[in-house]
Chains A and B, each alone.
Chain A
Amino acid sequence: MKQRYTITAIAENKPGVLYRIADLLLRRKINIESLTVSEIEHKGMSRFTIVVDAERDLVEKIGKQLYRIIEMTKVIESTDDELVPREIALIKVTAKTKEKREEIEQLVRLSKGRIIHIDKNYLVAEITGDEKEIDKLDELLQPFGIKEIVRSGRIAVFK
Chain B
Amino acid sequence: MKISGSQAVLESLLQENVEVIFGYPGGAIMPVYDALYDYTNDGRIKHVLVRHEQGAGHAAEGYGRMTGNPGVCLVTSGPGATNLVTAIADAMMDSVPMVCISGQVHSGVIGTDAFQEADVIGITAPVTKWNYQITKASEIPEVMAKAFHIARTGRPGPVLIDITKDAQFEMMDFSYPEDISLQSYQPTTEPHQRQIEIAARYLNNAERPLILVGQGVQIAKAQKELQAFLEKGDFPAAFTLHGLSALHSGHPLHVGFLGMHGNYAPNMLSNKADAVLAIGMRFDDRVTGRLSDYLNDATVIHIDIDPAELNKNVPADVPIVADAKIALQSLTKAIRKNTHTNWIREFKKLYEVEKKQVIDGVTHPKTGEITMAEAVTLLSELTKGEAVVVSDVGQHQMVTARYYRFSRPNSWISSGGMGTMGFGLPAAMGAKFARPDQEVISISGDGGIQMNIQEFTTLAQEQLPVKVIILNNGFLGMVRQWQQLFFEKRYSMVNIQSPDFVTVAKGCGLEADRVVARIDLKKALQKMLDHNGPYVLEIKVEQEENVFPMIPTGSSVDEVRLA
Asked if B126 and A27 make an inter-chain contact with CB atoms under 8 angstroms apart, the answer reads yes
Q: Which of A20-46 contact B (CB under 8 A)?
A: 20, 23, 27
With A and B bound together, what is the CA distance between A71 and B131 in angstroms? 11
Is A64 a contact partner of B150 (Cβ separation < 8 A)? no
Residue of A nearest to B308 (CB): A64
Complex CA distance for A73 and B182, rounded to whole angstroms = 10
| B182 CB contacts on chain A under 8 angstroms | 70
Interface string of B294-310 (1 = CB under 8 A from A): 00000000000011101
- Tell me whether A143 is interfacial, beta carbon within 8 Å: no
Closest to A57 in B: B311
Residues on the A chain within 8 Å of B310, using CB: 64
Name the CB-closest residue of A to B306.
Answer: A68
Q: Which residues of A contact B176 (CB under 8 A)?
A: none
Please tell me which one of the listed residues B122, B150, B184 contacts residue A19 in the complex, with CB atoms under 8 A apart.
B122
- Given A70-B182, A70-B185, A73-B184, A64 and B129 contact (CB-CB distance below 8 Å): no
Partner of B129 from A11, A15, A60, A70 at Cβ < 8 Å: A70
The secondary-structure label for the interface of chain B is mixed
A15 to B135: give the CA distance in the assembly, Å: 13
Closest A residue, CB atoms, query B146: A70
Q: Contact check, A70 vs B307: say whether CB atoms are below 8 A apart.
A: no
Least Cβ–Cβ distance between B244 and chain A, in angstroms:
26
Contact B150 A23 (CB under 8 A): no
Question: Of the candidates B125, B129, B183, B308, which one forms a contact with A16 in the assembled complex, judged by CB atoms under 8 Å apart?
Answer: B125
- Give the shortest distance, in Å, between B314 (CB) and chain A (any CB): 13
Residue of A nearest to B157 (CB): A68
Q: Identify which of B121, B122, B132, B308 contacts A68 (C-beta below 8 A).
A: B308
Contact B121 A72 (CB under 8 A): no
CA distance A74 to B481 in the complex (A): 47
Closest to A60 in B: B311
- With A27-B126, A70-B185 as known contacts, state yes or no: A16 contacts B307, CB within 8 Å: no
Among the listed A23, A61, A70, which residue makes an inter-chain contact with B308, where contact means beta carbons less than 8 Å apart?
A: A61
> Is the Cβ of B125 less than 8 Å from the Cβ of A19?
yes
How far is B125's CA from A23's CA once the two chains are assembled, in angstroms? 8
Cβ of A56 to closest chain B Cβ, rounded Å:
12
Separation of A67 and B129 alpha carbons in the complex (Å): 11
Q: Is the Cβ of A16 less than 8 Å from the Cβ of B132?
A: yes
Sampled A-B contacts (23; CB under 8 Å): A11-B184, A12-B183, A12-B184, A16-B131, A16-B132, A19-B122, A20-B125, A23-B126, A27-B126, A61-B308, A61-B311, A61-B312, A64-B308, A64-B310, A64-B312, A65-B308, A67-B307, A68-B306, A70-B182, A70-B184, A70-B185, A71-B184, A71-B185
Nearest 9 interchain pairs by C-beta: A64-B308, A73-B184, A70-B130, A65-B308, A70-B185, A23-B126, A71-B184, A19-B125, A12-B184
Write the residues of chain B forming the contact surface with A, with a CB cutoff of 8 angstroms. 121-122, 125-126, 129-133, 150, 182-185, 306-308, 310-312
Interface residues of A (CB under 8 A from B): 11-12, 15-16, 19-20, 23, 27, 60-61, 64-65, 67-68, 70-73
